[in-house]
C-alpha cells in the first residue's frame, strides 16, 4: 500500500513538471516579425556610442555612430520618428560636468528613413524590426546637434552619453541608456594656428625630419630607457590630456601646481618598471591640416605578460621639429 502511494505521488509530480515545462515552452506566443512590448530593454536592446577617433580639431566635423543592437533571442520592434531628437537624447558634458545645450535640428537627420504610400500620405514614424544579433546604426555629427562651448584652454575634453526612446509617441517615458560613454577631445588653439598655414607642402619643406622618424627615435629611446632623448620629442603639456588621472588635476591647477603635476607625469612615464617596450613597427603616416598622425603596432611586457597594442600618435610642428602632442591606444591581445 505504501509503495503504491509513493508511486502515485511521483506520478503527480512528474505530471505537474511536464505541464509547467510545456507552459514555458509553448504558452508564450512570440510574433517572429517583432514585438511591440512596453518593456523594450528586457528584450535586450542595447545602445552604444562609437567613433573612428576621439581627437578632432576645432571646426572639424565630429561624426559619431549611435548603434541599437538586439542582443535578445527574439525579434524586437521599435519606432523611428521623423524628428531625430524624439528618439535620441544626447548628453554632452564638459570637464566641469556642465551639460551643453542642444540645437533645434528638426527632422532632417531622419527624413531619409521615411516614405509616402500610394495615396501620397506621409508618415511621421516607421517601425523597425531587429532580428536577434542585428543592429540599427545612425551616424550623427555632434557639432550639428550640440552647441559646443567656446574654447578657453588649448584643448577641450567632453564626455558623451545618450538615451534611446523605442516608441516616443505611445511610450515617451520609456528609454534605454547607452551602455558606454564616449570621450571626445577638441584641439582649440595650436591646431588652429597650423590650419592657417597655406598648405602642407610648406610644412614639409620647413621640417626636414618626418613625423614617423620622430616616432621611431622616441620609441627607440623608450626601448633603451634613454629618457632625456625620449622627452625631447614630447610636449608634456599636451600629452598629459590623454591621461585622465593627471589631466583632471592639471586642468584645474594654477601655474605652480601645474609644474608639480607635470613633474609627476614625467616620473610616471619614465619610472614604470612593470611596463617595458619589447618591439614596435611603424604602420602609417599622415599629414593633414598641419597635424600629423602616425600609426604604430607595439609589443609590451606588462606585469610579466606580453600584450600587443595599436597606437595613434598625434603630432604638431614646434620649433622646426614634429613633437608628440597626443596618444590614442587600442589593446589588441
Q: How far apart are CA 6 and CA 260, in angstroms?
A: 81
Residues 54 and 181 in one domain: yes
Residue 10 lies in a domain: no
Residues 231 and 172 in one domain: no
Residues 159 and 54 in one domain: yes
To 10 degrees, what angle do helices 244-252 and 255-270 make? 170
Residues 173 and 213 in one domain: no
Residues 147 and 202 in one domain: no
Does this model's pTM top 0.75? My answer is no
- Residue numbers of the domain that contains 131: 41-188
Segments of 8-154 assigned E as strands? 45-50, 55-57, 63-70, 76-81, 88-93, 125-130, 135-141
Residues 182 and 206 in one domain: no
End residue of a domain, out of 188, 214, 241? 188
End residue of a domain, out of 133, 162, 188? 188
End residue of a domain, out of 169, 188, 207? 188
pLDDT in tens, 33-89: 444 444 444 468 899 998 888 888 877 888 999 999 998 888 888 888 888 888 888
Residue 109 lies in a domain: yes
Residue spans of the chain under pLDDT 50: 15-42, 106-108, 111-112, 114-119, 190-205
Residues 66 and 177 in one domain: yes
Helix ranges (DSSP H) in 134-210: 142-145, 190-195, 200-206
Determine the 3-state secondary structure of 214 from DSSP: helix
Q: How far apart are CA 51 and CA 64, in angstroms?
A: 5
Determine the 3-state secondary structure of 258 from DSSP: helix
Residue 23 lies in a domain: no
Q: How far apart are CA 307 and CA 297, in angstroms?
A: 11
Is residue 156 within 8 A of residue 94, CB to CB? The reply is yes
The confidence score (pLDDT) of residue 58 equals 77
CATH of the domain at 52: 2.60.40.2970
User: What does DSSP assign to residue 234?
Assistant: B
Closest by Cα among 67, 165, 56, 146 to 99: 146
The confidence score (pLDDT) of residue 313 equals 92
Helix ranges (DSSP H) in 244-318: 244-252, 255-270
Residues 221 and 178 in one domain: no
Residue 321 lies in a domain: yes
Within 10 A of 14 (CB to CB), how many other CB atoms are there? 10
Residue 248 lies in a domain: yes
Residue 4 lies in a domain: no
CATH of the domain at 211: 3.10.450.50
Q: How far apart are CA 303 and CA 13, in angstroms?
A: 56
Residues 224 and 316 in one domain: yes
Residue 16 lies in a domain: no
The confidence score (pLDDT) of residue 49 equals 92
Residues 180 and 51 in one domain: yes
Residue 99 lies in a domain: yes
Determine the 3-state secondary structure of 132 from DSSP: coil
DSSP characters for 34-71?
----S--GGGTEEEEEE-S-SEEETT---EEEEEEEE-
Residues 219 and 288 in one domain: yes
Residues 58 and 195 in one domain: no
Q: How many domains does the chain have?
A: 2
Angle at 188 between CA 186 and CA 191, to 5 degrees: 100
Amino acid at each position: 500500500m505504501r509503495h503504491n502511494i509513493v508511486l502515485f505521488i511521483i506520478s503527480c509530480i512528474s505530471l505537474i513538471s511536464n505541464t509547467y515545462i510545456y507552459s514555458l515552452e509553448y504558452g508564450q506566443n512570440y510574433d517572429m516579425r517583432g514585438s511591440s512590448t512596453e518593456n523594450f530593454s528586457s528584450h535586450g536592446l542595447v545602445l552604444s556610442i562609437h567613433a573612428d577617433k576621439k581627437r578632432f580639431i576645432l571646426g572639424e566635423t565630429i561624426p559619431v555612430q549611435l548603434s541599437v543592437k538586439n542582443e535578445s533571442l527574439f525579434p524586437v520592434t521599435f519606432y523611428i520618428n521623423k524628428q531625430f531628437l524624439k528618439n535620441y537624447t544626447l548628453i554632452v558634458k564638459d570637464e566641469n560636468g556642465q551639460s551643453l545645450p542642444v540645437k533645434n535640428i528638426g527632422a532632417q537627420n531622419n527624413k531619409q528613413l521615411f516614405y509616402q504610400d500610394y495615396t501620397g500620405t506621409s508618415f511621421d514614424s516607421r517601425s523597425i524590426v531587429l532580428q536577434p544579433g542585428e543592429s540599427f546604426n545612425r551616424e550623427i555629427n555632434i557639432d550639428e546637434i550640440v552647441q559646443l562651448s567656446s574654447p578657453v584652454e588649448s584643448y577641450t575634453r567632453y564626455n558623451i552619453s545618450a538615451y534611446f526612446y523605442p516608441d516616443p509617441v505611445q511610450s515617451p517615458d520609456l528609454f534605454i541608456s547607452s551602455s558606454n560613454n564616449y570621450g571626445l577631445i577638441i584641439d582649440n588653439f595650436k591646431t588652429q594656428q597650423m590650419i592657417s598655414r597655406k598648405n602642407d607642402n610648406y610644412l614639409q619643406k620647413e621640417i626636414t625630419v618626418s613625423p614617423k622618424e620622430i616616432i621611431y627615435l622616441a620609441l627607440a629611446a623608450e626601448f633603451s630607457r634613454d629618457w632625456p632623448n625620449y622627452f625631447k620629442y614630447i610636449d608634456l603639456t599636451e600629452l598629459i590630456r590623454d591621461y585622465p588621472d593627471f589631466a583632471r588635476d592639471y586642468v584645474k591647477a594654477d601655474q605652480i601646481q601645474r609644474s608639480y603635476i607635470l613633474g609627476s607625469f614625467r616620473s610616471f612615464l619614465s619610472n614604470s618598471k612593470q611596463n617595458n617596450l619589447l618591439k614596435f613597427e611603424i604602420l602609417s603616416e599622415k599629414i593633414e591640416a598641419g597635424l600629423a598622425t602616425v600609426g604604430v603596432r607595439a609589443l609590451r611586457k606588462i606585469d610579466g605578460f606580453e600584450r600587443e597594442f595599436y597606437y595613434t600618435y598625434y603630432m604638431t610642428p614646434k620649433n622646426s621639429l614634429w613633437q608628440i602632442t597626443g596618444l590614442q591606444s587600442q589593446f589588441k591581445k
